[in-house]
Structure 1
Amino acid sequence: MISDSIFTSQVKSLISRTFGRSAAHDSVLDRAINFFTSHAFAAHQKELLTEKVDKLQSQLSKAKGNSKKAIEQQLNQVNTKLLGFGEQDTSARKTRYEHLFNICEEIISLTEGEDFNENNRKSAQFLGTIQLFSPTEGAKISQNNEQCKSIYKAVLSLRMLDALCIAGQVNDEYVKHYLQDIPADKFKNFATEAPEAYQEFVLWVKIPIVMAALIQDIGNFHPDAQEILLGENADQDPHRTLLIEERKQLLQINYRETVRYFITGLGEQAYFGNSRDDRDNFVQAEQKRLVFVRHLLKSSVHPKEGIGNLLKVPQIYTSIILSTKANYQYKLLPKVYQVLNQNAERGNCSQKAVDILYRITGMFPQGYGVTYIPSESDGSPSDCYEYAIVNRLYPDNPLHPKCRIATRKLGFIGFGQDITISKDRNLYFPETVKKMSSISKERLNEILELLASNYKERQDLDLLPRCWHTKDFFSMKNNQKLWVKLT
């Protein structure tokens, strides 16, 4: 039966409410686009009203009697309209902020548990689910990946933050303040050893980081940016490779409008309560949070060794794993760290930060379909290959992914065991493929017919596939339990 598990449905719903587009116009993206378009109109209207106020005040200074009263009445009406604009702006801003804040809370709820290990298991499930339901072939790759990128990146930023704290490598004073003197070797159990302090850490550090990750590229949806992406006649492919000058202009617009949206379109969180002291403390903390998020956004442009790498490195990683480009090739996703290392060499991000993410994810992204050579009972390599899916973060060796097997004896199964696939058994690596060179073409065709759902379409492909496309397998509800702990 083709359907979704509760968790898969939650992830899809969350993505839709973050970067989806709907008739209700109520996603994070829809609200930002509405701000960009309506704010320009409102600014123009306020400018016209302000000019009218100046004109009426000038007339008022010269008027007398009934004429003066009429002008005063007009002036009051215009000022009321101006006040109305301010009230509308405040109300809309609070609504946008609360919606984004709730989205951030939900992301953390779905990707974190009571300790470090549970954070990693739930995050692997979240990231893997996105990869597994995302198309890897066909015309919908760009559209899907565009919607999923920001939320995928946000989860990676959270896991990088954990890794930095555990390694004692946090160099940002704001983050250090909320660590509450928790030593690095105790951070894995921060949530259980100091629950109140940890909730403060989530509220004032983790949620702002998720928020920054989600809106980091929201400025690309400003009309000026869209004109570059779509062209003057709105007939260009927005995912095409831009000219250097276009790229520079887009980066400038994106940063400028993202920061403007954060400050003007979202602003500060409202305080609810009656205590004056609590209010003052809250306002002070909220102002520092604003500075922190803005610093994250600014420093992510050229992060060097700073906190901006929490956004920059996941941004580059996600741009490859969930690429929107026409040259997207699923089988080449494990090459993502070649791109990241090149960026580090060019000074676009920190090599230390790249190495941290490599330690977290390994070479193979969550949800990636691995083809491997199983072993016979005597330990010798079999004369066939099987399918598995990457389902855990922090592999012991980045080249050896932790996986859940999806086939056994050339048949699909819904409850496979967890295994670590070493490099010498992984058909992604050319040297492993050579080990199967003695197997006949007839035997390989026989295996392909058993394992490939669209066998006829795949007859022209490699008989020894470097990977396999998992979407059809994962579309079955019973196969969406890759992260369930096995007894």
Structure 2
Amino acid sequence: MANNAFNESSYIKTLKQIITAIHNNSTLEDSIYHQAINYFNTQEDASDQLHQRHQALNEALSKQEQAAKTTKNVETAIKQAKQALKKQQKIQSEARLQRLAQLKQVALNIIDLCYGDSLSDTNTRFAKCLGAQLLLVPTQRKQAVRYNHLSKHLYRAVLSLKLFDQLLAEGFIKNKFVLECYQHSLKQGSNQFKECIQIPLVMVSLLLDVGNFHPESITILKGPEGKLDELRALDNEERIALLKINYQQTINYLIEGLGADQYIGNSKAEKAEFDELEQQKIIFIKDLLLKAVNPQQGIGNVIKIPQVYTSIVMSSKLNFAYTTVPKAFLILDKGVEHGSHSQIAVNTLLKITGIYPQGFGITYIPKDDTGYDLPRYEYAIVNRLYPEDPHVPICRIVTRNLTFISSGDDTAVPATQNLYYPANRKKLEKISPQRLKEILSQLWSNFEQRQEEMELVPQCWQPHEYFSYAKHQNLWNKTVL
């Protein structure tokens, strides 16, 4: 590969800005996850302060009741207590609304990134958003795990949106509030569906594991002394305890730490309508969270299934291996067998993504003009959703004659050519090891340092380095299949 300086397209810069706004390691601590952490860390103190203001007011009112005649001192004490309580309530309300506004803005940015002017454009945008995130995963395992730990929230939210859209389009969403908002938006041309359904859905998906950042959760993850690796494998007792705390504190944060938005305006009728919709949104958020735990056939599948899928594709576990990424549906199918989530929803996601996630590196055997297998393999990257066959990914060709290119065609790679399948790798075993090393030396820029780390016939490849160049970051432009 050409030895040029790594750089980023404007799209990748935008994507990284969104990821950073969700969760980051910056000392500024300005992400929506940092806001949640701050809320958890100060929640008890804020509650105590509010309690003290209430108590002071109650004591002043009690003195008023006990006195035969209200004195000026008692009136002053009551007035001051009320002012102090109102001030404290305002401080906490403003902090809550600021957290909510920041989260809603991030959700809107995600929605704007994913939706286009047509269904075709929208599908391309979703493919690009999902694919770019996987392509940004570093090749070094520890770095990959740390990256996934911060970026998996966005991946999960985007996948939830797409699965929800498809289930709704096929008539599998039965939630009354969802259907009412959808019909209202179609008839009135309003943003009610985006405001009441899409934004809350993204909020829930983004913050699905925010309870893991509660102090009680951190004690489990890092140990009482804070010295353990939070990404380590937990024992069963720790895992169950963490699940309970995460569930309770995620609900706490979404309902109490964020809650309902505030109406701005002077119309009583508009305020009543606004407040009613806000309460329905809160009910919808609670419903998503409650049913995501054990969705079975319900709407919780739009949260749970992307959560499971993301935990494999963008794993934040220390045993993460890139070669296991296409096995997400094996885990989802087991969940269906155990009755924990819907076969229809899993099948719908499979219809959308296929077996191979967007951005996954495919190695395949090319054919000559007469249809015979050539004695080599080439590289491609999965770049399109909705493959006709889930086992036949639609890919962008990125090497031709063992040379990297930036303007390849899109093609469907048949299962009979895909080296992810052992039977196809056996086809190349008759080629001499020396020739296979020659092939690798042409595809790897640092072959001498890496020649011992992979098999001579790789079942897949990780395109992170290829994607690090801006000229290779437009894998989703229009080409003819």
Structure-1-length-normalised TM-score: 0.93
For residue 26 of structure 2, what is the aligned residue in structure 1? 22
Residue 467 of structure 1 corresponds to: 460
Name whichever of 6-15 and 138-147 sits farther off: 138-147
Deviations 1:210-244 (A, max 9, x none): 11111111111111111111111111111122222
The CA deviation at 1:148 is: 1.0
Checking the alignment, whether the CA contact within 8 Å between 1:154 and 1:213 is kept in structure 2 is yes
Q: CA 1:147 to 1:382, structure 2 compared with 1: closer, same or farther past 3 Å? A: same
Q: Secondary structure at the match of 2:416?
A: helix
Matches within 5 A, 1:74-93: 74=77, 76-93=79-96
- Show the counterpart of 1:148: 151
Asked if 1:395 is matched to 2:395, the reply is no
How far apart, CA to CA, are the structure 1 residues paired with 2:236 and 2:56? 44
Helix, strand or coil at the partner of 2:355? coil
Consecutive unaligned residues of structure 1, counting only runs of 5 or more, are: 182-190
In structure 1, which of residues 30, 39, 43 is the aligned counterpart of residue 43 of structure 2? 39
Match of 1:361 among 353, 360, 365: 353
| SS of residue in 1 equivalent to 2:191 | helix
Pairs within 5 Å for 1:304-315: 304-315=296-307
User: Given the alignment of the two structures, is residue 288 of structure 1 paired with residue 280 of structure 2, yes or no?
Assistant: yes
- How far the C-alpha of 1:260 sits from its partner, in A, is 1.2
Whole-Å Cα distance in 2 between the matches of residues 170 and 65 of structure 1? 64
Alpha-carbon shift at residue 35 of structure 1 (Å): 1.0
SS class of match (1:483):
coil
Higher mean alpha-carbon deviation, 271-280 vs 164-173, is at 271-280
User: Which piece of structure 1 moves more, 450-459 or 337-346?
Assistant: 450-459
Cα deviation, residue 176, structure 1 = 1.5
Once the two structures are TM-superposed, the CA of residue 454 in structure 1 deviates from its matched residue by 2.6
CA deviation after TM superposition for structure 1 residue 195, in Å: 8.1
String of CA shifts for 1:348-374, please: whole Å, max 9, x gaps. Answer: 221221111111111111111111111
3-state secondary structure, aligned to 1:419: strand
Q: What letter is aligned with 1:18? A: I
CA distance in 2, matches of 1:137, 1:219: 28
Displacement of 1:166 in angstroms is 2.1
Match for 1:94 among 76, 82, 97? 97
Q: Does 1:132 align with 2:125?
A: no
SS in 1 for 2:142: coil
- Superposition pairs of residues 27-426 of structure 1, within 5 angstroms: 27-55=31-59, 73-74=76-77, 76-180=79-183, 194=186, 196-197=188-189, 199-426=191-418
CA distance in 2, matches of 1:341, 1:137: 29
Corresponding residue SS for 2:297: coil
Q: Are the equivalent residues in 2 in contact too, given 1:449–1:455 (CA < 8 A)?
A: yes
Cα distance change on mapping 1:100 and 1:385 into 2, 3 Å: same
Cα distance in 2 for partners of 1:233, 1:141 equals: 26
User: TM-score normalized by structure 2?
Assistant: 0.94
More displaced, 17-26 or 287-296? 17-26
SS in 2 for 1:205: helix
Report the counterpart of residue 187 of structure 1 in structure 2. Answer: none
Label 1:54 to 1:391 Cα distance change in 2 as closer, same or farther (>3 A). Answer: same
Indicate how the Cα distance of structure 1 residues 410 and 196 shifts in structure 2: closer, same or farther if over 3 A, else same: farther
Q: In structure 1, what is the Cα distance between the partners aligned to 2:128 and 2:296?
A: 31
**1:300 is paired with a residue of what secondary structure?**
helix
What one-letter code is carried by the residue in structure 1 that aligns with 2:297? E
| Cα pair distance change 1:203/1:195, threshold 3 Å | farther
- Measured in 1, the distance between the counterparts of 2:459 and 2:433 equals 16
* Cα deviations by residue, 1:408-439 (Å, 9 ceiling, x for unpaired): 11111111111110111110100111111211
Pick which of 53-62 and 408-417 moved more. 53-62
1:486 CA displacement: 2.9
CA contact (8 A) 1:300 1:312 kept: yes
Equivalent position SS for 1:424: coil
Q: In 2 relative to 1, CA 287–418 (structure 1 residues): closer, same or farther, beyond 3 Å?
A: same
Q: CA deviation at 1:52?
A: 4.4
- Shift, 1:75, TM fit: 5.2
Report if aligned partners of 2:142, 2:318 keep a CA contact under 8 Å in 1. no
In 1, Cα distance between equivalents of 2:187 and 2:149: 36
| Unaligned ranges ≥5, structure 2 | none
Once the two structures are superposed, residues 109-132 of structure 1 have per-residue CA deviations (whole angstroms, 9 ceiling, x without a partner) of: 101112322221101100111111
2:7 corresponds to 1:3: yes
Distance (Å, rounded) in 1 between the aligned partners of 2:348 and 2:362: 23
- Does the 8 Å CA contact 1:180/1:197 hold for their aligned counterparts? no
Identity of aligned residues (%): 37
Structure 1 range deviating more: 82-91 or 6-15 = 82-91
Cα offsets for 1:238-278 (capped at 9, x unmatched): 11222222222211111111111111111112223333322
Q: Does structure 2 retain, via aligned residues, the 8 Å contact 1:21–1:29? A: no
8 Å CA contact 2:376, 2:439 repeated in 1: yes
Contact 1:388 1:405 in 2 (8 A): yes
Contact 1:57 1:75 in 2 (8 A): yes
Q: CA deviation at 1:161?
A: 1.3
Q: Distance in 2 between matches of 1:7 and 1:195?
A: 33
Tell me how far apart the structure 1 counterparts of residues 51 and 93 of structure 2 sit (CA, whole Å).
Answer: 18
Contact kept, 8 Å, 1:317 with 1:336, in 2: the verdict is yes
Q: Output the CA distance in 1 between the equivalents of 2:61 and 2:263.
A: 37
Distance in 1, Cα, partners of 2:414 & 2:153: 31
Which amino acid letter does the alignment assign opposite residue 17 of structure 1?
Answer: A
CA contact (8 A) 2:467 2:473 kept: yes
Please tell me the residue identity of whatever aligns with 1:479: H
Superposed CA offset, 1:387-406 (max 9, x none): 11110111111001111011
- Write the distance in 2 (CA, Å) between the matches of 1:114 and 1:331: 35
